[in-house]
Amino acid sequence: METLEKAGLAVNYNKIVSTKPNGLPKRVHIWDETLRDGEQTPGVALTVEEKIDIAKMLDEIGTSIVAVGFPAVSEGEKKAVAAVAREGLSKAKVAAPARAMKSDIDACIDAGVEEVPVFIATSDFRLKYQLRMTREEMLERLTECVEYGKDHGLIIDYIAEDSTRSNMDFLCDAYRTAIDAGASKVCIADTVGFVRPEVMRYIVREVRERLWSDQKYKVPLAVHCHDDFGLATANTLAAIEEGVTYPQVCVNAYGERAGNAAFEEVVMALDQLYGIETGVITERLYALSKLVERHFVVPLPLHKSISGDNAFTHSSGIHSHGQLTHSMTYEPISPVLVGRKREFHLGKFVGRHFVEYMLKMGGIEATEAQAREIADRVKKTHEDAKKDQSKVAFDRIKQELRSLRTGVTEREFWDIVFQVV
């Protein structure tokens, strides 16, 4: 079917050249953190088999880099990372992060990964209160660790934790220090999801202009955004508009606290709104989303974009009628593009036109008056069902969902303490 745009019936302002920055990249490489930051979703603890399942699908779908875990966390985690690394992903590079500590890098070496993003904070706040280091001490540590990793044949990247709350001069000094020591990529991290998209653009533009003015420092830029204010995807796209080519994402927006930029949202925005190539097979996005949801045992919100149950479900009679006349009436993209199908919800907002469509599909003839009566009865049935809906049952289900979140209780913690001390 001819699209509305091709027929000249719909305007796509996304294609206006003046709305696109000059530095917009033609190709973006998806760097997935689902098995690392994503697994840090409270209550999640993946098995080796689950990590392998997810890593394989991420590889098959066209992800460029897959961070498969944090080897320094425990021996069990190191073994899990090693198991994924042994699988030998065909397209994606297998990565695992390390603090700026040689022991962390040794754990990555033991696990057999190809790429190690080394992270250490650049904000004075974090240096003073968390790391208890001076700027000079931090730069020395960074140099030592990047060189150590390079000497062991690893691809080393540098992630400046808390970049968006750091002094710009020192942030860029840290990036230059890492590149001088051998870092292949540097990452701007909005660790607490603190900035607006326009601020993200400013930060990336400043970093790019200060680094890329010297050919020696013209390395690819990455970005890592958290969703504390619901801006992770927007900030990631803003960074890409200024030249970032390695966005870090998590499937279903899982991750610490409010989560990270969503894999599926970033990919589809780049594909449909910017026309930027990612190499990702978008038709498999929904299958990836459901696989990760099942292994994480963290239910997706019904209204989650792209992958939520309601993302392509129409309830209003007006919307349903519109969709039956043309698929683009109330959908920005075809659900087929992300491996989904369109659905209609029968309830309070059903319209006569949709009832007539259902009757036609069922091979049943009815008058307009009969169709209206059927629609009215459907509405009343839904309204009656709503009256009988139990808030107690809802509260119980929510409590049961909370119980799926595994972890150690405070009492269990103190039991362990008294066993050890």
Q: Count the domains in the chain.
A: 2
Least confident among 10-14, 69-73, 294-298, 358-362 = 358-362
Can you give the pLDDT at residue 1? 45
CATH code of the domain in which 185 resides: 3.20.20.70
Q: Are residues 257 and 320 in the same domain?
A: no
At 416, is the pLDDT very low, low, confident or very high (cuts 50, 70, 90)?
very high
Can you give the pLDDT at residue 25? 94
Give the three-class secondary structure for 405: coil
Tell me, yes or no, whether 5 lies in a domain: no
Tell me, yes or no, whether 397 lies in a domain: no
Can you give the pLDDT at residue 159? 98
Tell me, yes or no, whether 15 lies in a domain: no
Q: Are residues 232 and 349 in the same domain?
A: no
Q: Are residues 231 and 92 in the same domain?
A: yes
Q: Are residues 261 and 363 in the same domain?
A: no
pLDDT of 317 higher than 60 = no
Domain boundary (296, 321, 354) is at: 296
Q: Are residues 239 and 93 in the same domain?
A: yes
Residue 186 phi, psi dihedral angles, 5° rounding = -125, 145
Q: Are residues 170 and 246 in the same domain?
A: yes
pLDDT of 400 higher than 90 = no
At 22, is the pLDDT very low, low, confident or very high (cuts 50, 70, 90)?
confident
The overall average pLDDT reported for the chain is: 91
Can you give the pLDDT at residue 145? 98
Which residues constitute the domain of residue 260? 23-296
Q: Are residues 104 and 132 in the same domain?
A: yes
Tell me, yes or no, whether 403 lies in a domain: no
Element at 368 (helix H, strand E): helix 368-388
Residue 405 phi, psi dihedral angles, 5° rounding = -75, 110
Can you give the pLDDT at residue 154? 98
Q: Are residues 346 and 208 in the same domain?
A: no
Tell me, yes or no, whether 242 lies in a domain: yes
Mean pLDDT score, 138-144: 97
Tell me, yes or no, whether 10 lies in a domain: no
Q: Are residues 374 and 226 in the same domain?
A: no
How far apart, in Å, do the first and last CA atoms of the chain sit? 71
DSSP per-residue codes, 89-146: -SSSEEE--EESSHHHHHHHHHHT-SEEEEEEE-SHHHIIIII---HHHHHHHHHHHH
Q: Are residues 242 and 98 in the same domain?
A: yes
